[in-house]
Structure 1
Amino acid sequence: MLPKQNTRSKSVMPGESSSSAGAGAPVPPAPGPAERPLKAGWLKRQQRSLVKNWQHRYFVLRGSTLTYHKDDRETTTQGVIQLRFSRVNELPTNSEEPGKFLFQIVPRSSRERERSPYVFMTSSQTDLEEWVRTLRRAIGTPTTGGTLFGKSLGDTVTYERRFGPQLVPILVQKCVEFIREHGLGEEGIFRLPGQDNSVRRFRDAFDAGERPSFPSDTDVHTVASLLKLYLRELPEPVVPWTWRNRSPSFPG
């Protein structure tokens, strides 16, 4: 009599591992350990269940693949999330639950189950911004046609109020604060041009939904040029055309 073979198999939903038995669905291949990670660290992952429990896992990003493990030695891969065509969104803070810094990965799929977002919690706002920035770059999120430049002031302020009470766009606030601190004694602050590469880099970061800070050694003319570029690309000026038309005394 031939020995009875173990035919146990794993059925894995695309994007995460599962311990339930299935019809032999293949496990998504994880990248080889020799590939250097783009980012690695501990995150809390919200389990997809009726009870929203959090799992503390070690996540490793290689290429466009995110894997998670029980420990930082990566001895066992518990799940794989394929990031291609996914979206990464920073979630607004909840005043009733301070200290929770959340973001989500929304997979692109035609199946409703697989479109459910993966929700993660970081230990700080800085860690959150680093993960979001790195994941978006790994996915290849386009920086043109983004969420800020070329959008109306009203739409931008409404969108950004998810992150707290905002009277002006975050970019305007950050630029003005930096100029007041570093540029009040600078000659030609809004006349002399800044560094094109730096202006483009900051623009791409803000347009991708990030909220970068300006290092203290940033050229103040670069920050001023970024602010001018944002105002120049507004679909309607800060002083609307309708207001100008109603005010005959407004200087032309």
Structure 2
Amino acid sequence: MEALEKENKEGVGNPKTLKLAKDITSAEQGYRRGIQDLEEIRQRFQLVREQTQKTCERVEWDRVLALKNALGTYTEAEGKLMKVGGEAVDRCSIFVECMSPQVDCHFFVADFMRIWPDATPMYYESYTHGIAKDMVFGVPLETLLRAHPGSGIPAVLYKCVRAVEARGLDKEGIYRVSGKHSDVLELKLRVEKDVHSVNLEDESWDVHVIAGLVKMYLRQLPVPVFPFPAKERTEYSQIADEKERVLRLRARVKALPRSHHTVLKFLAEHLAKYVFPYYCR
């Protein structure tokens, strides 16, 4: 890739170089989509596996408990009927008392984990930059948040927004003035290698670069945070009644999936912090 970039600089406009760059980009995008698809399958498998394990545990618990109660009732009845052989009944009673749903479930889970182990996560691996443990760009919100449950906000978005709020709220045009594109790409690579190890409070990262990464992340989402097709936007813009417009917009927001609704609220609150001081001047 580095050799290609060098060749591209030396021969800008070379058809062969441009075609090669296009093919490499297309292959890289296909590879990323493949990893995303495999990761989604893994997540679905994990979800079904966990649900199956819990269901089987409940069934095993109920089975052992029902068997213990049945044997206990039978042993007690035999003890009352039998005039001889009381020692055998006592031994049976001790056996029944030792039956434990908790112990049986423990062994059941151990066997279940051995037969159906956790599925290994799928990581995107670059020849030049290594493994990306946190491939977040171009990944649907639902897929990303299933893999990393928590606040409901993707870690990359949360860290970038907090860094902008800490260092960029006083800068006019923070999301209008673009950061250096090569630095944005470098930050993207760092984030995808390990989002939690990147320190965005470090002054070496220009705040406009961080803001640029926020824009890049949102642009590359397969489904926008707030989907609003062009045709529907046109129809919406033609509604003259302001109350009707607000009602329509509110209905669309309420219809959003939970993950999209949470992220939209987070972004709205963030932008309000930036816009509010200008309205107060």
TM-score normalised by length of structure 1: 0.38
Which of the pair has more CA radius of gyration? 2
**More helix as a share of residues:** 2
TM-score normalised by length of structure 2: 0.35
